Chain A
Amino acid sequence: MWRLEQRSAPSVPMQVATPFIALAASVIAGGVLFTALGHPPLPALYAFFIGPVTTSYGLAELAVKATPLILCAIGLAIGFRAGVWNIGAEGQLTLGAVCGGGLAAMVFYDASGVWLLPLMLLAGAAAGLLWAAIPAFLRTRFGVNEILVSLMLTYVALLALSALVHGPWRDPTGFNFPESRFFPPDATMPLILAGTRLHLGFPLALLVALIAWYALARTILGFQLDVAGLAPRAARFAGFHPERTVWLVFLVSGALAGLAGVIEVTGPVGGQLVPVISPGYGFTAIIVAFLGRLHPVGIVLAALVVALSYLGGENAQITEGLPQAVTGVFQGFLLFFLLAADVLVRFRLRRVAHA
């Protein structure tokens, strides 16, 4: 008989190993799933996991898809460490896109200048920040559950985007399609690799990850968040104000998600506002944050893995005729297996003689 036994301290090797265990288990489960769907597992797995990254274009696409995931997941991870559950990154991303993109589509649509893109990025980050400030305010002022509020606001943000592109922001010369005007050329993300869609947003996301790593590992900030998450009363004892932690977390994660939103519309979405600008990056970032162990370096790696699941889904649909929903299932597998494997960090399996 096997029994779980609490470790005296969390196992560090296991903390590093479990994401890989989870990835391996997800690949195996993916193979089983493909077989169940009537596809030979090996070609399907190849199409899903290897096929997309055999070309430089594919590799660049990986980075393009990883960019919003990194930005959102870093913000979410900061909160999860502190026990603050912002799960409305999708809404904050959307509102960032609406405000940053709206600036280019409705105000400066025939402007030019190097100031335009930075201004849009700032506006998008500010919009995400303000949208995230609502759950922060309600939680700190009235004690309202931030999970539900941030999630409800996501639906509101998605509907707001839809209302705008179907209505007042619709391109007057766009044959009644629900799309905004195209942004002026100076309001799009510069490409950094010829022949691909790789844009400046990716190095920007890496820079954010680097700054986050430094702030979390080398300053009192990371310690403050960890204490707030692990032992709220000890945080009070240390003089870290819980309300300030909630505010900090929401403002930073909202701003990063908003930034991701503008980067999407000025980059891969193609320089205009459309009814759907994200295939759920804000939600998938939750998986990325956990898979990356809430650590900025881990998050960059995890974002690449999860980005691959998007590319793999598209590729498997084209070459193997698999439904694209496989992507979501695979992402679910990843998170489940990770959470399940995490038990090994805190507990060890021990064989016990039955009494």
Chain B
Amino acid sequence: MMDAAILASVLATVIAAATPLLFAALGELVTEKSGVLNLGVEGMMLVGAVTAFAIAVVTGNLHVGVLGGALAGALMALLFGVLTLTLMANQVACGLALTIFGIGLSALLGDSFVGIPLDGLPELDIAGLTDIPMLGTVLFSHDLLVYLGIAMVPLTALFLTRTRWGLVLRAVGENHEAAHGLGYSVIPIRYAAVAFGGAMAGIGGAYLSVAYTPMWVEEMTAGRGWIALALVVFAAWRPWRLLLGAYLFGGVSILQLYAQGGALFDVPSQVLAMLPYLATIVVLTVLSSRGVRALLAAPACLGKPFHAA
């Protein structure tokens, strides 16, 4: 049995592990709500991660690095936008291309940054709260990005359901012909949503390289971009369920780490490392079996190109 202090620090690491997933998945959720399926999350995260790391090393300022990561992610997303929104190329193919390109580009950009040490983003010391036993460790021992990620959940939910722009964005994703007929500019709105998704993926990647494991390693996202895509389906396009899903997957990956470290099970570490991927498949299967409901939750125009005649 683990004692309470260990449990608290485990829970804290779960929250940290969920953060990159949360950023990337929230961004993708907004992108998909506008009717665009961007499968390039993994590529955008990687480019965000390497950019943030490089800028942080060069400028010595971690926050500027994170901003750079967001910007890099958004630029990658805009590249995807030009292909799919302006040139109307297939969204699935372009998303795959974005990931392949992102893997290559991040490896190239990061070539001279491999092995450089970096002091990660500091934990915020919140007066009084951090010292609360247990709770302080679990909830109040984190860096700025963790809190920002959590804050983005209600902000995204409020934006989508309570603001006019959120309503228009959902309308565009639901029926782009009708939205166009009512005078809304489908393509600019989708560009904005795609760029937001890219910036969020970039921050998710930046969190990995400047906070979670402050260093640069090729393909350090290890499939988190793809898990983020699965999370959006898991959440049925709802921000609050996304938070739940991110913690669930953060939990699985931490379980695997502790199992390896503590040799809880007598199995090779690689087998434990399979857990997040297998869990994704199981969760997707369970969700998809409920078929009809999932169909209604997905934006009706998801993945369909729009061309104003």
Give residues 78-135 of A contacting B (CB, 8 Å). 80, 85, 87
Nearest chain B residue, comparing its CB with the CB of A335:
B97
CB <8 Å contact, B270 and A152? no
CB <8 Å contact, A283 and B94? no
B226 interface residue, CB < 8 Å from A?
A: yes
Interchain CA distance A166-B267 in the complex, whole Å: 12
Q: Which residues of B contact A145 (CB under 8 A)?
A: 233, 284, 288
CB <8 Å contact, B101 and A332? yes
CB <8 Å contact, A325 and B280? no
CB <8 Å contact, B280 and A339? no
CB <8 Å contact, B92 and A152? no
Scan B99-113; emit 1 where CB is below 8 A from any A CB, else 0.
Answer: 011111101100100
A287 interface residue, CB < 8 Å from B?
A: yes
Known contacts A87-B96, A162-B270, A339-B94; A155 and B223 CB within 8 A of each other: yes
Interface SS of chain B: helix, strand, loop or mixed?
Answer: helix
Nearest chain A residue, comparing its CB with the CB of B272:
A159
Task: Name 30 A/B residue pairs within 8 A (Cβ), A-sorted.
Answer: A6-B309, A80-B93, A85-B92, A87-B96, A138-B285, A142-B285, A143-B288, A143-B289, A144-B281, A148-B229, A148-B230, A151-B223, A155-B274, A163-B268, A166-B268, A166-B270, A284-B100, A325-B105, A325-B111, A328-B108, A329-B105, A330-B104, A331-B100, A332-B101, A335-B96, A339-B83, A340-B82, A342-B89, A343-B87, A346-B88
Q: Which residues of B contact A166 (CB under 8 A)?
A: 268, 270
Q: Which residues of B contact A142 (CB under 8 A)?
A: 285, 288-289, 291
B71 to chain A, nearest CB (A): 18
Scan A143-185; emit 1 where CB is below 8 A from any B CB, else 0.
Answer: 1110111011101100110110011000000000000000000
B271 interface residue, CB < 8 Å from A?
A: yes
Q: Which residues of A contact B88 (CB under 8 A)?
A: 4, 343, 346-347
CB <8 Å contact, B101 and A329? yes
CB <8 Å contact, B278 and A333? no
Interface SS of chain A: helix, strand, loop or mixed?
Answer: helix
CB <8 Å contact, A152 and B93? no
B112 to chain A, nearest CB (A): 8
Give residues 77-99 of B contacting A (CB, 8 Å). 79, 82-83, 87-90, 92-94, 96-97
CB <8 Å contact, B87 and A340? yes
A10 interface residue, CB < 8 Å from B?
A: no
Q: Which residues of B contact A342 (CB under 8 A)?
A: 87, 89
CB <8 Å contact, A335 and B108? no
Q: Which residues of B contact A284 (CB under 8 A)?
A: 100
Which A-B residue pairs are the 6 nearest by beta carbons? Answer: A328-B104, A332-B101, A325-B107, A163-B270, A325-B108, A335-B97
How many A-B contacts at CB < 8 Å in the complex?
A: 137
Interchain CA distance A239-B108 in the complex, whole Å: 49
CB <8 Å contact, A160 and B94? no
Interchain CA distance A187-B171 in the complex, whole Å: 60
A326 interface residue, CB < 8 Å from B?
A: yes
CB <8 Å contact, A328 and B107? yes
Nearest chain A residue, comparing its CB with the CB of B226:
A151
Interface residues of B, CB < 8 Å — how many?
46
Nearest chain A residue, comparing its CB with the CB of B280:
A152
Give residues 137-179 of B contacting A (CB, 8 Å). none
Give residues 291-339 of A contacting B (CB, 8 Å). 323, 325-333, 335-336, 339
Q: Which residues of A contact B277 (CB under 8 A)?
A: 152-153, 155-156
A290 interface residue, CB < 8 Å from B?
A: yes
Known contacts A143-B291, A159-B271, A160-B270; A152 and B107 CB within 8 A of each other: no
A235 interface residue, CB < 8 Å from B?
A: no
A286 interface residue, CB < 8 Å from B?
A: yes
CB <8 Å contact, A149 and B93? no
Which of B79, B93, B218, B291 has the most CB atoms of chain A within a 10 A radius of its CB?
B93
B143 to chain A, nearest CB (A): 28
Give residues 254-309 of B contacting A (CB, 8 Å). 268-271, 273-274, 277-278, 280-281, 284-285, 288-289, 291, 307, 309
Scan B215-231; emit 1 where CB is below 8 A from any A CB, else 0.
Answer: 00010001100100110
CB <8 Å contact, B280 and A286? no
A254 to chain B, nearest CB (A): 16
Q: Which residues of B contact A328 (CB under 8 A)?
A: 100-101, 103-105, 107-108
B121 interface residue, CB < 8 Å from A?
A: no
Interchain CA distance A156-B79 in the complex, whole Å: 31
Interchain CA distance A325-B103 in the complex, whole Å: 9
Q: Which residues of B contact A147 (CB under 8 A)?
A: 39, 92
Interchain CA distance A151-B233 in the complex, whole Å: 15
A351 to chain B, nearest CB (A): 17
Give residues 167-214 of A contacting B (CB, 8 Å). 167
The answer, among A155, A163, A336, for a CB contact under 8 Å with B97, is: A336
CB <8 Å contact, B274 and A325? no
